[in-house]
Amino acid sequence: MLILTGNVYVIERAISQDEETIANLRTCQMRGWVEPLHEAVPRASLNPDGSLPKPLRIEGHDTIYRLTDSGWTVINRTHEIAVLGLAITLAGALSGLMAGGVM
């Protein structure tokens, strides 16, 4: 679908703006997983057929968030893989030292 809107963001599959979502976004921001990209962005809804209403009715203002590197790490679970790799390395080094008679 292509909508020529000018200087208007069109987010096709936007998340719902209920209290739970707002609380989750604030928690993610506090943990450093997301950061505000643009604040006070006007919000409006499309018509049921997907077209822009004429005139465009502003329903409120929202913040557009950006996922940080830490957020991608949490989504991809690379932190757990790094910790597991470190644990395996330490176990291997420890067993090598014990087999060599150092300990």
Vertex 47, ends 67 and 8: CA angle to 5°? 45
Considering the domain architecture, whether residues 90 and 46 belong to the same structural domain is answered as: no
Considering the domain architecture, whether residues 59 and 23 belong to the same structural domain is answered as: yes
Look up the domain containing 52 and give its range: 1-67
Considering the domain architecture, whether residues 3 and 37 belong to the same structural domain is answered as: yes
Q: How many domains does the chain have?
A: 2
Which helix (H) or strand (E) segment holds residue 96: the answer is: helix 78-99
What is the average pLDDT value for the chain, to the nearest integer?
83
Considering the domain architecture, whether residues 63 and 76 belong to the same structural domain is answered as: no
pLDDT value of residue 103:
61
Considering the domain architecture, whether residues 49 and 76 belong to the same structural domain is answered as: no
Q: How confident is the model at residue 33 (pLDDT cuts 50, 70, 90)?
A: very high
